[in-house]
A = this chain, B = another copy of it.
C-alpha cells in the first residue's frame, strides 16, 4: 500500500471505466503493471467491488433523513431487522445510549413516516428522532489523502 496504490484508487474512485492503459499513464505505469496492482488491491480486499453511483431522486428516493433509533436493549445483533427495510441505506451502532443511527431515503415524507412505523416494530426499539436533510453539500468517496 504505497503512494502509487493510493493514486490508482483515487483514479478508480473518480472513474472505474478507464482503460488500464489510461489508468497506468495517469500514475506512471504500463497497462499491465497497473492491471496487476489493481488485481492485488482487489485480492487483498482494499477494493471491495466496482459499482455505479445512481441519482437517488431518479429512483424515487428524493427525501433523505437521518434517524436516531433508541432502544431499551442491546441492539448489537439486530442488523437483519434493519436490512429488511429497503429504504434504509446505512445502519450504524453508536456510542452513548443504546442506539442505532440510520440513513433513510424515501420518495416522500409520508413514506418516511411509514419507515418510522416499521422501525418501531423492531424488537427493543423504544423511540426514534428523525432529522430531515434540506440540502446535501456533497457525498464523496473515502479520501486517499
Contact = CB atoms under 8 A, between A and B. Distances in A.
A13 B12 CA distance: 15
A100 interface: yes
B131 A96 contact: yes
Interface in A51-68: 51-56, 58-59, 61, 64, 66
B59 A142 contact: yes
Copies per assembly: 2
A4 interface: no
Interface string A77-115: 011001100110111111110001100010000000000
A92 B139 CA distance: 9
A90 B137 CA distance: 7
Interface of A: 1, 6, 9, 12-17, 44-56, 58-59, 61, 64, 66, 76, 78-79, 82-83, 86-87, 89-96, 100-101, 105, 131-145
